[in-house]
Structure 1
């Protein structure tokens, strides 16, 4: 059966999206003001290095609400994210100025998240027409407006999006401190930091493959910033992996992933009814996480 062509953001969801999360995070945080906002964070309740399960849940809920939620869900998510991001602000010692609620920074994050959906679809099923890309660009506005970005600031055509993307690329850079954070994410070592010996199995069993998939899913310019290479042998291996994911996507895994999105929306709504904050209480450390702030082993969730 021929696959319907995508028109809206949910149409881009595939099984392959399970492989490119960290690659997309690297793209987001390659903008130095975003990268240092995370690197210097004291918000231990939202850090994968302290609360990896909670971080996975809240990120999944944000994406689910942006893609499948209604206006009330998005308004609540926007408010709660803004409350958390108020604690993410540069200090006089920070290498660059930043604010977690900056619309300009959040627009870049949303633009990268749009690529998260586009890339997973086109990797499996090929390029899209300009007409399709125009429709998808408009649909992706919820990724931005669920944050602190006005609808009018989001590109309304693919050409506008590409122009914004290309104008931002020269501003990107990954220094040694941020690169070390990315290496930990790509190899799953951050789980060991959070859980100690209980988390050592994750990098041992899955770290090598996930690091490969992170390299594979990064555009060439980001791989260069990470000082990662890419060989013909790597490409042959990736081709086999893509073939596998295309098969399972068509076999029904895509439907399961979409179901997981809807479950995440339902969970967000339930938490919103039962608690003051659906994303949970914000916990801050006196010192940045990078300096050991908030370290509790094993991490509690």
Structure 2
């Protein structure tokens, strides 16, 4: 796992973490794309997204909506009730029905494959573990055992059976190691990752209106994506990582520890609660929590479901 040193935890984090909510830090605000790269480095998952025709769930068409729905999936898994999770699970399963490989796809995949979704859930578990351990150092094995069991809703929320999820850290670590040899990033999927990490995907969604994001924020976010990515995944991407990069990241982490101490972590946790409230309001109003399902006849990567604003502003 990613943490290398033990840092004194803030006063409000002194007790051992027992839930994923306890692992939330401000560093998690910088590591979303890094975790996506981890998930999609398993080729059937990567090509499932690369060839997707589900426009309503694509960050290349609806980036704000995608951020909301992904965030709410995590929120429901982390602090929601069983009833919340049942509702989210049903909507995700419906959306994933449209994610199925074609005869000419490079690999076979299905969006509802328990085997593939178990890997996605494992990466999401690492999202929480890594953001904590990178800032505050390694956890003990008993602590990790508790957290492994607490992470089960990340898997059952995407239709993985509870009995398929590891019940101890040792079992999780064996599973993780067993999958590393299956990982590969082909050029089409690598291009997807590049445009996510430098925020160019926002231009795909919003046309010229999206250009300020990669221009102003792209270099920094790309760096933070590289920084949060474990070394084996950086190698798959062909990304270099120098001692200078590492020193810079240490400075970033020092700033984020201060931010955690003075309200940053509390802010992130408050956003989780707001997102859960929003989810429940949508349910009470009878709204689909993932929004209306829109599936294009053409894959998104080939221009499917291009939005009006992009078509007209780019001529």
TM-score (norm 1): 0.98
1:13 paired to 2:13? no
Q: Does 1:243 align with 2:254?
A: yes
Question: How many residues are paired up?
Answer: 300
1:118, 1:298 → 2: CA distance? Answer: 39
Aligned structure 1 segments of 4 or more residues deviating by more than 3 angstroms: none
* SS of residue matched to 1:298: helix
RMSD, aligned CA: 1.1
Displacement after TM superposition at 1:276 (Å): 4.4
Q: Which residue of 2 aligns with 1:220?
A: 231
Alignment of 1:244-263 (within 5 A): 244-263=255-274
Q: 1:295 aligns with which of 275, 296, 306?
A: 306
Where 1:171 maps in the other structure, the secondary structure is coil
In structure 1, the gaps of 5 or more residues are: none
Take 1:297 and 1:226, find their aligned partners in 2: how far apart are those partners? Answer: 33
Residues 1:82 and 2:93 are matched in the alignment: yes
| Distance of 2:273 and 2:39 partners within structure 1 | 25
1:92-129 C-alpha deviation (Å, 9 max, x unpaired): 01000000000111100000000000000001100000
Note the C-alpha offset of 1:275.
2.4
User: Whole-Å Cα distance in 1 between the matches of residues 66 and 249 of structure 2?
Assistant: 28
Structure 2, gaps ≥5 residues long? 1-9
Q: For the residues of structure 2 that align with 1:279 and 1:178, how far apart are their CA atoms?
A: 25
Q: 1:165-201 CA distances to partner (integer Å, 9 max, x unpaired)?
A: 0000000000110000000000000001100111000
Q: Equivalent of 2:37, from 16, 26, 45?
A: 26
The two structures have a TM-score, normalised by structure 2, of: 0.94
Counterpart in the other structure of 1:208: 219
Within 5 Å, give how 1:3-152 maps onto structure 2. 3-152=14-163
Write the distance in 2 (CA, Å) between the matches of 1:117 and 1:280.
26
- CA apart distance, 1:278: 1.7
State the alpha-carbon separation in 2 of the partners of residues 275 and 18 from structure 1. Answer: 30
Q: Distance in 1 between matches of 2:47 and 2:63?
A: 19
User: Once the 2 structures are TM-superposed, how far is the Cα of residue 299 of structure 1 from its aligned partner?
Assistant: 6.2
